Structure 1
Amino acid sequence: MSTENGKSSEAEDTGEPKSTENNQIKKESHDGDEATGEVEKRSDLPSQQEDTADSQIYTATSLPAIPKETNKTHPLVLEWAYGINSSLPVFSLQDEDRLVIIYACAHVAVIYDHTSKSQYLLQGHCSPITCLCTSEDRRWIVTADMGQESLVIIWDAYTGIPVKTLFDCHPEGGVAALALSKDSKYLVTVGAGLVQRVCIWNWTDESEEPACQVDLSPKYGCQKQILFNPSDSTQLVSNSSSQVLFYNWERGHLEYSAPEITDKTFNAVIGSLSQSVFHYDGVQAFTATSNGNIILWDKQTESVSRQPIVRNAIKLVSMQKEAIAVLTLIDSFIVTGDVNGHIKFYDGNLKLINLYNEFNVDPIRSISFSKERPSNNSLEYPKDCTLDAKPFVMRNFVLSTIHATVVHVNTQTNVPKSLLREHAEPLEAVACHPKQPLVAMGSHSGTIKVWDYQHKEAVCSRVFLSHKQIQCIAYDPQGFYLAVGFASGALQIVDACTLHNDGKECLQFTQDSITHLTFSQDSHYLAAADTGKAVTLLCLCKEGTQEIWKYQGRHHSHYKPIQDLLFGVDLDSNQPRLLSLGMDRRLVEYDLQSSGENELLILSCDRIEQSAVPTCMAWYPHLTPENFLLTASNLYKMKLFNATSKMCRKTLSAPSYGSPVKKMLILPASKDGDSNSRYMAYITEDKVGIQILPLDGNPHKSFVMICHSTGVSTLACSYDGRYVFTAGGQDCTVFSWELNLLSLEASAALGGKGMKPFYDLLEGGRDGLLFKEMEEYFYYFQLLDQNLDSMETRLVSTRIPLADVPFLMRALGFYPTEQELEDMQNEVKFSRYAETRNYVTDIDLEEFIRLYVNHRPASGISRQELYNAFQVLGKPDEEGRYNIDRDELLELLQARGEHMTEDDLAECFTTLLGVTPDGGNYTGSLLESVLPAEITMDAFASDILGFSVATQELHQEHHGQES
């Protein structure tokens, strides 16, 4: 849950379990070398293990039915994962009475029951999963990532519970490959660092250290695949694209050999190495190549007794012309999958037994066979392709392709069944239908796919062939049209139900990528923003009996990228309004009523920020008599602007969870609950959050979850406000989050009522020195207001004049600009004007504390900010250090931004430097005497501002960042 200072708690806010109750699976079935990995209930348990007899893991015997409803203890519950990591294998868990597979999707592992159309989501990683494997009996699942705090998690497939977590076992860069031994007792991991480390873990014991490890030489390339010998767990094989390594470990010592393999070995071009496996005799090994060859490895005859066992490449077998992408072993067969989507079965002598070449699938990424053995009735199976034409008795299998397709093959009928067909390229566009439970997703492959998110069924899809790289999509409020914006600048408006557009060509008004699309509330206008910093307006017109979209106008209204585009409604005329917000800090409103054919006019242009960069905006719900526009900025602030006058009416602390808010949506009002209870969904760089309205700066009213650790691109809300959808961009994934608003309200209530959350935001809280200092200053200003020298009876009051607020803020060490001070005073002055038509001219202590915690900077001046300022204003010297000329700095301070007089400058600098002028006169000559002619960043930081950081260290740090 949210912590008191508004930061996310890693264990609770993200909802990602990093360990289990004991972080350890008991060793009931792993005591012997031939353990199967199955946990069976026994009556002769040791006394220390009696407490496990009733545990879910101990008693589970098979994959359970995945419940469609789960206990929702968090405000945001990951409800469904749309997408798949097509670079990782897909494994079959079961396919007798239920068809169940497991695959990776961003930082989540998904157990998908195709029979019941349900998912069980294994959440534990905070970074994308880069490795996935299962035990031979499919009881255990292992996942790993390459994040800054990389994890390896062993899961119980029967319950979905993590039974062991290896924390930061490869701190040099995470895990690049892993595998379980045949008996499931041992786990091998390969690090992803420059110097790869191979570790073997006995994961069933209590040790946090590997049983053995060895570092690999970088000259052998990045080992991307590793495998245990199924006949002998002390032997392993791994390969990079150019080198195969064989390992042997015994008594805690791990060694490897790297037999030479080049084009000269067989006087033939070998190609890149893809995968390696051991022969089922346990002696020989095979490696597949990109040239359609298989390399055969065998022991050296003179090295039978040597350790490690040395193998040499003894033969290069040409199997086909196409590259072999997958090489695996099942029962007595060697199986290959190639880039043409063909699957071939060979016997131990590499004699072709059978093949599947009619599935019409993409290049194959993985093949996984069912753990259930085929029936004994061989007559039910088709014939193989040998001259004898014997029944080909084979397990069912699941294959995945590089284009995010998963297919199940029943070997009795030879009929493929498509299980998944997802987006294989970055997915950055998502939109929800305004009246139906439909969500549309668009990717860079030019594909749009529409899902029914209640029944978990794909409704329709379309591939745009002429234009690809879909950047954004939007439904109109009536649900008739779906607008699609492309990176090429093309704009396509299609029927929302069929995704067709009656053969009409794409509209193209720019070569710049479309970044934002929005419809007016009456569906009469469509606006688009692009990377050319321009806004284009289309209008729906009638031509005979048909309605067509016509170009109305285009305006280059910003000089920096457009951050958001929004339609609204004028409350007086009920006419649509269009606003755009840019990185240039300008809020532009367009004059739709006066704009004629082929023109788009600007009604107003307001600079709404001084130093902060606005990131997004939304219309604030009608919780007050005033109509507000809500904006967020990169300095973790939110602001409410009067919708008519554009005056800043309130400044509030925004959720601060590592990165600023980048998009926000006001959720629809609940039809069942209190109409005054409103909520807002938002995204940051990698998280999705939900916020209770009205906004007041209370951090406990906000909750976040990690949604896409590589970056979330956009979000959408269902028409009934029950679900929020986030698109992950590079991870090709969309997550569906179910909202539990009662849990959010309970979380906020636990943070305290009234002023408690705001007292907790002060250093030391209600009993700290800062609060006491505030009280003393507050009472002091009351005395000043009543004249310090007065001997009359004091009139005790709880309020001070509004005019004293700037002095009180500065006394507390917060130095706002004149514009910020004006915003503060307007916030208080007009706080009750809509209700009473009277100004507020004073403020009490509680109101002041709220004002202070919401307006003060979320963080102090950073070193990088100071460095950037000197980089812009100064000039580098011979050593690369930036200096600012004294006279130029003084001129800038007097002529740019909020102007300062020469006397003001002299007073500020002498105060900072501790210099007292003679006679109290501040002059320009005084500044020349106290300031050097060239001001370095080091001197400015330490001598003038008084930073405690060593100046040389400060410079070196920034100089290193620049490099």
Structure 2
Amino acid sequence: MVAYAPSLKDDDFKQKVGQFSCTQYIPDKSIAITGTSTGLLVIWESDKQRVKGENSETPYKRATKLIPLHQKGITFLTTTACHPYGKCIVTGDSSGQVKFFDCNFMLLFWYQDLKFGPVNCVSFATTSLFTEKNKSSFTESIKGKAYPTCATIGAEPFIIEDFIVSTSSAFMISVTVEGGLKKIILREHDSDVNGLTTHPVLNHVATCSHSGLVKIYDYESKLVVTMKSFGLNNPIQSCVYDKTGQYIAVGFMSGYLRVLDSLTLNEMTSEPFTYGKGPITHIDFSYCNNYCAYADSAFTTTLLLRSNTHECENSWCYVARVRAHNRRITDLLFWTLTESKRSRLFTLSEDRTLAEYDLYNARKHSLPVIARYQVEQLAKPLCLSMPPLSCYKEEFFFISNSASKIKLYNTSTLMCRKTVSSFPQGIEYTKVLPLISQKTNSCYFMVCLSKERLGLIMLPLDGDPLKYTNIIAHPSNGRGVGQAQGLAIDRNGLYAFTAGGPDTCVHMWTLNPTVLEKTVNIAGCMKRRFYDFLSRDFLEEMKDYFYYSMIRTQGICCMDERKTSFTIPITEIPFVMRAIGFYPTEAEVENMINEIKYSRFCDTGEYTTEIDLDTFIQLYCNHRPFQGILYKDVESAFNILTNANVGNKDKCAELSNSHETIIQEKPTITMEELFLTLQNSGEAIGEAEMSEYMAILWGILPEGDRQEILEEIDPKKIEKELESRMSTPINAETFVSDILQMYVYGEDNLSAGHSKELLSKKIQQTDTSLLDELVSNGKYAANSTQTE
């Protein structure tokens, strides 16, 4: 095989050629033709200077001519049989036109009304009219038939096979040449598929996309039930069936919401609801189908009420719209009380709050907000979901966050009752749905979706890694976009559906939770798997602190006979956690204590006041950050503090709510400014407590808790030492290395602009042989602990 790639420049013909799109050989000739993005046809003939007596079948070609065939770019090129010219050249362009030329490039016929997007392919019927068998009777067979005429002086009948045109706008059009009949035989989504919902009664799944198309499939027969296009100027963001399957609500990028009949897709209101000020991101119906609520990208929530009067022209009417958040709303949910069947409306937002609305006191243009609960401090909450019915004895809902955690909240007290890690570590579940329990299953499950992965989790949640399984559903890194947007489960819990967003794909997955259940049951003791998360040295260190905590509770200086025990009071949890290098906030400490305190309350009616070592290790593995303390996070915090102290509160809020780290040129603040910020922002620290902490960090006071410090303390001396250091400017580097006495390692943890000298200097100050080995080999684990 010999290949040759001739060059062609704009200067060769004093004309812009454009990019090559497709190439075809002309039958029975040694001429090749190439279509370009400027609508030109390049003619390639044998290069006689290079052939030198060889036969005409040679790869050495040169461009001899440019012929303008289209005003738009040529996207497709082929040849086909044609009467009366034997063969003709077929071209398609980016405007949707299809043209036919003879082998001398004279126009024979064209279809200019196929305006369904750029032509990708033209495929002709395989049952040819021009076979040798039909040649004798061909003239008789075309008599009386309405074939079009050629665009020539002779105006001969233009006869070719029927064909199908496919376009990049996801259309397939069947063209019958006789009579000029054109029919759309297939239309699919050609842009982001974000909306996905399943019918609660029928085997229907509905999809919607930015192409303005709503399409409903029967997922058992794999057939299209119905579809409706709202036009390319009305891109759709979301869609949801109501609880009975009578209606389907469709949310548009324009902020409009339409309520459609679920079978015919006819509108049930005379006009769409136009109260949204941005794309409709979330829609939900109440359990009794009396209410419909939707959230938009302008951080507002709108409530609709179903009309009970048959005389009313509209089935749904507007009630009120309210803005309860100052950041993007990540989820919206109607919660129904099991006993009374009364509904509660919640919205979750990136401002780290959960808002509850008063449905039963809502009136025209007024939707009261009952309360806003802070559910996160640093992580961003991503989704809100309820567990399967009868899974828990109490009523809970789940919140997944950006820290790779899933939290369980009591619906009555809004208290965090459980926190578990997601697996694999670092995964962020953006959609979580309960799986309808099948008769063959004795357990309950949840289906979860991240940007790439579809996961199945066995309940109840306890952090056991064996209870998690997942598969890459929408890959990234060159194999795909990795931006999954939609998740739905069929009414029987047999299938899961995922929408890939920009990849325009909808995948249907068969669920078999029995396999996961058997795997967990066979595996045996769960506590052993939490031990496997820890190294042997770290485990021994944890045991030492745990047993030392027992001594603390009985008194360090106690000379009486000590009572041996296998537990410590739950009030000791924060001290042991901080001793082993995990520094939870006060809210996280409260969550950990409540998790243990109420762990058996529903069964026994009593609080749990002690915790054993096995339970403590499980608690630690579930609550600890999966990637340790990052130096760039400390640096980002100093950026926020610097902007706060110079009065730029808007910039401070922007930085604190952004996922990105904005690096400044080593921002510094004084110790006095740091004191004031820590005493007045977030979880405020009292002046006396703050002074004690800083005195210990600076070495003025010995390490340990108050009850462990045996020597006398001179308060005046401490106060004088602290005041002398108040004006000292500090930055992220000095704060970590000089005050906290932590040493950064890992090249990935240093933000842009830091030199390798800083990295080497800090590693040399660390006495850990493992780190020296990592540095010498040039390897740094991205998800390992980042400080010592």
Fold match by TM threshold 0.5: yes
Is 2:289 the partner of 1:523?
Answer: yes
**What residue in structure 1 maps to residue 514 of structure 2?**
742
Q: Secondary structure at the match of 2:360?
A: coil
Aligned-partner residue type, residue 717 of structure 1: I
| Structure having the higher Rg | 2
Aligned to 1:585: 352
CA contact (8 A) 2:26 2:33 kept: yes
RCO comparison, higher one (Cα < 8 Å, 6+): 1
The aligned counterpart of 1:608 is 375
Is the Cα contact below 8 Å between 2:304 and 2:320 reproduced in 1?
Answer: yes
Partner of residue 650, structure 1: 418
1:92 match: none
CA distance in 1, matches of 2:680, 2:238: 42
- Corresponding residue for 1:289? 36
Counterpart position of 2:63: 313
2:317 is the alignment partner of 1:550: yes
Change (3 A) 1:290 1:912: same
Q: Is the 8 A contact 1:587 1:606 kept in 2?
A: yes
Alignment CA distance shift 1:500-1:795 (3 Å) = same
Greater mean deviation of Cα atoms: 823-832 or 596-605: 596-605
- Post-superposition offset of 1:401: 0.5
Aligned to 1:733: 505
Aligned to 1:31: none
Q: CA offset at residue 863 of structure 1?
A: 3.1
In structure 1, how many angstroms separate the alpha carbons of the residues matched to 2:466 and 2:585? Answer: 29
Matching residue of 1:801: 569
**Aligned counterpart in structure 2 of residue 350 of structure 1, from 105, 109, 124:** 105
1:449 alignment partner, SS class: strand
Aligned partner (choices 748, 753, 772) of residue 540 of structure 2: 772
Question: Quick one: which of 450, 461, 467 aligns to 1:701?
Answer: 467
Pick the aligned partner of 2:429 from 643, 655, 661: 661
Amino acid at match of 2:334: F
2:511 partner amino acid: L
Q: Where do 1:620-699 residues align within 5 Å?
A: 620-621=387-388, 622-656=390-424, 658-670=426-438, 672-674=439-441, 676-699=442-465
1:821 CA displacement: 1.3
Does the C-alpha gap of structure 1 residues 364 and 574 become closer, same or farther in structure 2, counting only changes over 3 Å?
same
- Rounded to whole Å, the distance in 2 between the matches of 1:657 and 1:438 is 35
1:901 to 686, 701, 709: 686
Q: Partner letter of residue 895 of structure 1?
A: N
- Tell me what 2:10 maps to: 261
Q: What corresponds to 2:484 in structure 1? A: 712
Task: Give the 3 Å change call, closer, same or farther, for CA 593–411 of structure 1 in structure 2.
Answer: closer
User: What is the match of residue 335 of structure 2?
Assistant: 568
Tell me, yes or no, if the aligned pair for 1:649 and 1:823 is still in contact at 8 Å. Answer: yes
List per-residue Cα deviations over 1:840-881 (Å, max 9, x = no partner).
111112111111111111221223322321222126999833
CA distance in 1 between counterparts of 2:558 and 2:639 reads 53
Change (3 A) 1:260 1:779: closer
Q: How does 1:151-190 map to 2 (within 5 A)?
A: none
The match for 1:834 is: 602
> How does the TM-score come out when normalised to structure 2?
0.80
CA contact (8 A) 2:253 2:279 kept: yes
Q: Deviations over 1:607-659 (max 9, x none)?
A: 12222221111123332321112111111111111111111111111234544
The verdict on how the C-alpha distance between 1:677 and 1:418 changes in structure 2, with shifts beyond 3 A counting, is farther
Letter matched to residue 459 of structure 1: V
Within 5 Å, which residues of 2 pair with 1:398-437?
399-406=165-172, 420-437=186-203
Residue 946 of structure 1: how far off its partner (Å)? 3.7
- State TM-score, norm by structure 1: 0.66
Number of residue pairs aligned between Structure 1 and Structure 2: 700
The one-letter amino acid paired with 2:548 is Y
Pairwise CA distance, 1:502: 5.2
After TM superposition, give the deviation of residue 442 of structure 1 in Å. Answer: 1.1
Partner deviation per Cα, 1:935-960 (whole Å, 9 max, x = no partner): 12222233333443379997662679
Deviations 1:471-529 (A, max 9, x none): 11111101111111112111111111111025611111233222111000000000111
Residues 1:862 and 1:277: Cα distance change in structure 2 (over 3 Å): farther
Deviations 1:358-407 (A, max 9, x none): 8775431124578999865335978796769799687x866420211235
Deviation at 1:274, TM superposition (A): 3.1
Q: Distance in 2 between matches of 1:761 and 1:915?
A: 37
The DSSP-based 3-state class of the residue aligned with 1:874 is helix
Distance change in 2, residues 1:588/1:398 (3 Å): same
Q: Equivalent of 1:843, from 611, 617, 621?
A: 611
Q: Distance in 2 between matches of 1:658 and 1:335?
A: 52
Pick which of 357-366 and 837-846 moved more: 357-366
Structure 1 residues 375, 735: CA separation in 2 closer, same or farther (over 3 Å shift)?
farther
Structure 1 contact 833–839 (Cα < 8 Å) conserved:
yes
Does 1:868 pair with 2:636? yes
CA deviation vs aligned residue, 1:784-830 (integer Å, no higher than 9, x gap): 44556666665443222222222221222112122211111111111
The aligned amino acid for 1:740 is N
How much has 1:893 moved relative to structure 2? 1.2
Q: C-alpha displacement at 1:593, in angstroms?
A: 1.6
Cα contact 1:902–1:924 (8 A) shared by 2: no
Q: Secondary structure at the residue paired with 2:639?
A: helix
Q: CA deviation at 1:323?
A: 4.2
Q: Provide closer, same or farther for how the CA distance between residues 351 and 692 of structure 1 changes in structure 2, counting only shifts above 3 A.
A: same
CA distance in 1, matches of 2:748, 2:527: 41
Distance 1:391 1:642, change over 3 A: closer
Cα distance in 2 between the residues matched to 1:365 and 1:843: 66
Q: Are 2:403 and 2:426, in contact at CA under 8 Å, matched by a contact in 1? A: no
| Secondary structure class of the residue paired with 1:756 | helix
In the aligned structure 2, how far is the partner of 1:739 from the partner of 1:952? 42
Q: Which residue of 2 aligns with 1:810?
A: 578
Aligned residue identity for 1:734: V
Q: What is the aligned partner in structure 1 of residue 708 from structure 2?
A: none
1:888 aligns with 2:682: no
Q: Which amino acid aligns with 1:867?
A: E
What secondary structure does 1:574 align onto?
coil
- The separation in 2 between residues aligned to 1:657 and 1:280, in whole angstroms, is 60
SS at match of 1:957: coil
Task: Identify if the C-alpha distance between structure 1 residues 746 and 388 changes in structure 2 by more than 3 Å, giving closer, same or farther.
Answer: farther
1:479-490 matched pairs, under 5 angstroms: 479-490=245-256
Compute the RMSD of aligned alpha carbons.
Answer: 3.6
Change (3 A) 1:707 1:416: farther
Partner in structure 2 of residue 211 of structure 1: none
Equivalent residue, structure 1, for 2:220: 454
Cα distance, 1:904–1:865 mapped onto 2, change above 3 Å: same
Would the aligned equivalents of 2:404 and 2:426 in 1 still touch at CA under 8 Å?
no
Task: Give the deviation of 1:557 after TM superposition.
Answer: 1.0
Structure with the largest fraction of strand = 1
Between the aligned partners of 1:360 and 1:786, the Cα distance in structure 2 is 84
The structural deviation recorded for 1:417 is 7.9
Change (3 A) 1:782 1:293: closer
CA contact (8 A) 1:563 1:582 kept: yes
Structure-1 separation of matches of 2:127 and 2:700: 86
User: Gapped runs of 5+ residues in structure 2?
Assistant: 82-86, 647-661, 703-710, 756-788
Say if 1:701 and 1:951 are closer, same or farther in 2 by CA, change over 3 A: closer
CA separation of 1:282 and 1:782: change in aligned 2, threshold 3 A? farther
1:298 aligns with one of 19, 27, 45: 45
Q: Which has the higher helix share?
A: 2
**Residue type at the aligned position of 1:736:** M
Tell whether the 8 Å contact from 1:467 to 1:490 is kept in structure 2 after alignment. no
Amino acid at match of 1:476: D
Alpha-carbon distance in 2 for matches of 1:793, 1:869: 48
User: What corresponds to 1:180 in structure 2?
Assistant: none
Relative to structure 1, is the Cα distance of residues 702 and 951 closer, same or farther in structure 2, using a 3 angstrom cutoff? closer
